[in-house]
């Protein structure tokens, strides 16, 4: 990293020369060849190297860049306010973006919907939103069934935990988060039916001090494996490692942050999805308004197992993973009770991944300690 | 299995431990702002100074391998921001509150820009002193690992109080802050005193920031501060410009911030939004309870923008 700050005279001269050359070619007609590159914009809510949500998207954007033929625009730290509308407008008007990926949950409604109505030639694809018929046709949403990977996290955590107490640090009680908490717990109870998951809601996507406090609080209550659904698991992984407990990752691989206690992790695989979406748009194919996928479609993946994961846990998790990848396994299969004792999925009912009911989840399953409000 | 656990006792312990862990940035920023405001100037830019301190402390710790050098660098970065504030404010017809807000935005922006390469790498952290080794309970031991910066803050608060009352420079700062006319009559260089006070305030705020990145939570990221600097500035008014009260108020805010996660960890989960808002609700409550026409601004420096 230090080298980034040292600028030798030679590098400076080369850079200046390069700039001059670029300025020259820009004025010449054959510079036009590049104008065919389709401009694609990515908007992140936080820094793109956060060991978390934004980094996962940035890795996807980087894969697209490597592909060539696309002009990739990126802007980070854009708040979920009218600021994102301004960012999208400038990407469309100034850079000619034909496809925009606003990647954060709060960008969808009303901001992205508003702009999709205004710019009907531009394609908008939002991560996490739930597109409905009432929304504009040039808008759409994509997401991954990362709960499949959280389910595998749970299986590994259930086998590895010695206290039988797991911790889950979550930002907000929205359906996607609840689905992860529930899948994690269901997976853990597959390994050990007595396991409980204590959930803590911090209230926002990025609250480093509160996340550290939550991790410490859980550890003090005897929790020995934590996982999370916040934008950057960095603080949680580091705190867990410092205090000698285990951690399951989320968003991207965090094994570097917790070399001793990292078990496995639920990761996004946007490197696979973004190039696919961009290419199909370039080829004139119609991108569906609702894109979803899990392990089978390669939208999510798992981290390599850490040193503490025993053979028994690996085998069970790998077995389920094979079935999930084949599409022959259902996680939310009745009977499932919520943690207040009411039946939420009746016996005999199978809610497969594509079931839209799961995207409206508003309960915590049996075994989760905590409440939504 | 549960012999080692504290159960319900975990809540007061977590609040106490949380108060110690979370309060340090509040403490340093508020002590710094106390010095600045006592000289008759208000520096709202300390949020930016805090973030800048967090970034530069982490960067220097990473580049040199010494966290204490990081703390020093954070202090120096803060002092530079303080001097900048003081220099701009010493020009005629400049509003210190507006300058403060501008410097806050500038500090945050600059820290994000310069801090880009340091989000990923891991820098050496400040050591903590284990005060809990007498206990055989792991939770108690972990809760009582106290960072040296907190202890410095504990010493600094009464020292500052004493200095304001008993030392020559303390009295000069207060004179300048209370009445510029009186200070002029006594022959003090008002701008120089304020320059020094704002620089000292910035120095302490920068150190407060380095605590965030080098001790707790212990790494640099762009969401690190979440408004702690600006909260600490407000805390000075709450503490009536008294360094010892700043100390207690910082502990209160730290403890209140730990309350939400602590309660949720033992299973009290309903109404967590309310618990998370506890620090602010508590402040409001105390403000209302202690507010009266005579006492509201007791202790406020006479030259301070907010009281004129």
**Are the beta carbons of A252 and A103 closer than 8 angstroms?**
no
When comparing pLDDT for B222 and B288, which is higher? B222
A331-345, B100-114, B125-139, B278-292: least confidently modelled range: B278-292
Nearest 5°: the CA angle B187, B193, B198 is: 165
Give the model's confidence band at B109: pLDDT under 50 very low, under 70 low, under 90 confident, else very high. very high
Confirm or reject CATH 3.40.50.2300 for domain A38-144, answering yes or no: yes
What is the per-residue pLDDT across B177-195, written as a single tens digit (0 to 9) for each?
Answer: 999 899 999 999 999 999 9
Domain of residue B16, residue span: 7-289+297-304
Sort out which chain A residues have CB atoms less than 8 A from B17's CB and list them. 216
State how many domains chain B has.
Answer: 1
Residue B1 lies in a domain: no
Instruction: State the average pLDDT over residues B139-148.
Output: 83
ipTM: 0.86
Q: Count of CB contacts below 8 A, A vs B?
A: 148
- Give the nearest partner residue to A221 out of B5, B62, B276, using CB atoms: B5
Interchain CB distance below 8 Å, A219 and B142:
yes
Instruction: State the average pLDDT over residues B20-35.
Output: 95
- Give the nearest partner residue to A77 out of B18, B112, B143, using CB atoms: B112
Task: Give me the percent of chain B exceeding a pLDDT of 90.
Answer: 57
What are the domain boundaries of chain A?
A: 38-144, 146-267+304-369
What is the per-residue pLDDT across A145-203, written as a single tens digit (0 to 9) for each?
Answer: 999 999 999 999 999 999 999 999 999 998 989 999 999 999 999 999 999 999 999 98
Question: What per-residue confidence (pLDDT) applies to A1?
Answer: 42
Q: Is B124 on the interface with A (CB under 8 A)?
A: no
Instruction: State the average pLDDT over residues B73-99.
Output: 94
The CA distance from B174 to the nearest CA of chain A, in Å, is: 35
Q: Which of residues 23-82 of B touch A (CB under 8 A)?
A: 62-63
Residue B2 lies in a domain: no
Question: What per-residue confidence (pLDDT) applies to A13?
Answer: 52
**pTM of the predicted protein model:** 0.85
Which letter does DSSP use for residue A109 in this model?
I
Residues 6+ apart with CB under 8 A from B17: A216, B142, B143, B144, B258
Question: What per-residue confidence (pLDDT) applies to B126?
Answer: 92
Which letter does DSSP use for residue A252 in this model?
S
Alpha-carbon separation of residue A251 from A146, A269, A316, B18, B305 (angstroms): 9, 9, 22, 28, 47
Write the CATH number of the domain with boundaries A146-267+304-369.
Answer: 3.40.50.2300
Mean pLDDT of chain A: 89
Interchain CB distance below 8 Å, B5 and A222:
yes
User: Would you state the torsion angle of the CA atoms of residues B296, B44, B205, B239, taken in this order, to the nearest 10 degrees?
Assistant: 10
Confirm whether A38-144 and A146-267+304-369 share one CATH topology: yes
Element (H, E) at A236: helix A234-242
Residue B204 lies in a domain: yes
User: CA–CA separation, A341 vs B160, rounded Å?
Assistant: 58
**Are the beta carbons of A229 and A170 closer than 8 angstroms?**
yes
**Are the beta carbons of A91 and A57 closer than 8 angstroms?**
no
- SS3 label, residue A267: strand
What is the per-residue pLDDT across B270-307, written as a single tens digit (0 to 9) for each?
Answer: 777 777 777 777 777 877 776 666 665 667 888 886 54
Sort out which chain A residues have CB atoms less than 8 A from B260's CB and list them. 202-203, 210
């Amino acid at each position: 990293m230090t080298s980034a700050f040292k600028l030798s005279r030679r590098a400076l001269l080369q850079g200046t020369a390069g700039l001059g050359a670029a300025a020259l070619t820009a004025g010449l007609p054959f510079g036009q060849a590049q104008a065919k590159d389709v401009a694609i914009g990515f908007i992140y809510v936080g820094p793109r190297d956060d060991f978390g949500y934004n980094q996962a998207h940035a890795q996807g954007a980087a894969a697209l860049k490597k592909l060539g033929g696309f002009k990739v625009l990126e802007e980070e730290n854009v708040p979920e306010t009218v600021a994102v509308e301004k960012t999208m407008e400038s990407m469309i008007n100034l850079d000619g973006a034909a496809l925009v990926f606003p990647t954060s949950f709060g960008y969808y409604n009303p901001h992205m919907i508003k702009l999709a109505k205004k710019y009907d030639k531009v394609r908008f694809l939002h991560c996490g939103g739930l597109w409905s018929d009432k929304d504009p046709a040039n808008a759409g949403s994509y997401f991954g069934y990362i709960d499949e990977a959280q389910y595998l996290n749970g299986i590994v955590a259930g086998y590895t935990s010695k206290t039988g107490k797991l911790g889950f640090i979550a930002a907000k009680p929205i359906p996607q988060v609840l689905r992860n908490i529930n899948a994690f717990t269901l997976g853990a109870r597959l390994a050990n039916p007595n396991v409980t998951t204590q959930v803590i809601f911090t209230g926002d996507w990025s609250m480093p001090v509160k996340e550290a406090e939550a991790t410490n609080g859980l550890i003090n209550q005897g929790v020995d494996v934590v996982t999370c659904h916040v934008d950057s698991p960095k603080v949680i992984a580091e705190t867990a490692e410092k205090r000698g407990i285990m951690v399951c990752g989320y968003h991207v691989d965090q094994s570097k942050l917790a070399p001793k206690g990292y078990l496995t992790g639920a990761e996004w695989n946007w490197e696979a999805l973004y190039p696919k979406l961009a290419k199909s748009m370039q080829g004139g194919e119609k991108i569906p308004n609702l894109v979803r996928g899990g392990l089978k479609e390669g939208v999510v993946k798992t981290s390599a197992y850490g040193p503490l994961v025993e053979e028994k846990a690996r085998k069970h998790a790998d077995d389920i993973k094979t079935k999930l990848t084949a599409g022959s396994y259902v996680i939310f299969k009745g009977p499932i009770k919520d943690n207040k004792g009411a039946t939420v999925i009746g016996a005999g009912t199978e809610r497969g991944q594509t079931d839209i009911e799961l995207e409206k989840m508003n309960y915590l399953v049996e075994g989760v300690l905590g409440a939504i409000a | 299995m549960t012999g080692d656990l504290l159960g319900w006792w975990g809540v007061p312990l977590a609040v106490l431990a949380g108060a110690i862990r979370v309060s340090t940035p509040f403490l340093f920023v508020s002590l710094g702002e106390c010095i600045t405001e006592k000289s008759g100037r208000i520096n709202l830019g300390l949020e930016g100074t805090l973030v800048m301190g967090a970034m530069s402390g982490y960067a220097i710790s990473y580049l040199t391998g010494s966290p204490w050098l990081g703390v020093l660098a954070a202090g120096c970065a803060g002092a530079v921001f303080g001097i900048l504030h003081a220099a701009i404010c010493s020009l005629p017809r400049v509003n210190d509150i507006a300058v403060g807000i501008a410097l806050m935005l500038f500090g945050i922006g600059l820290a994000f820009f310069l801090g880009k390469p340091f989000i990923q790498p891991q820098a050496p952290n400040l050591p903590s002193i284990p005060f809990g080794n007498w206990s055989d309970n792991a939770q108690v031991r972990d809760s009582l690992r106290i960072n040296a910066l907190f202890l410095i803050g504990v010493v600094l608060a009464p020292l500052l109080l004493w200095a304001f009352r008993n030392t020559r420079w303390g009295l000069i700062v207060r004179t300048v802050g209370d009445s510029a006319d009186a200070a002029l009559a006594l022959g003090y260089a008002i701008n120089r005193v304020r320059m020094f006070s704002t620089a000292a305030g910035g120095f302490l705020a920068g150190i407060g920031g380095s605590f965030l990145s080098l001790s707790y939570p212990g790494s640099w990221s762009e969401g690190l501060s979440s408004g702690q600097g600006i909260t600490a500035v407000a805390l000075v008014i709450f503490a009536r410009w008294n360094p010892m009260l700043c100390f207690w108020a910082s502990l209160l805010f730290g403890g209140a911030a730990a309350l939400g996660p602590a309660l949720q960890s033992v299973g009290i989960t309903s109404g967590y939004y309310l618990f998370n808002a506890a620090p602010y609700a508590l402040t409001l409550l105390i403000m209302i309870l202690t507010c009266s026409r005579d006492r509201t601004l007791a202790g406020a420096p006479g030259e301070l923008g907010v009281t004129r």
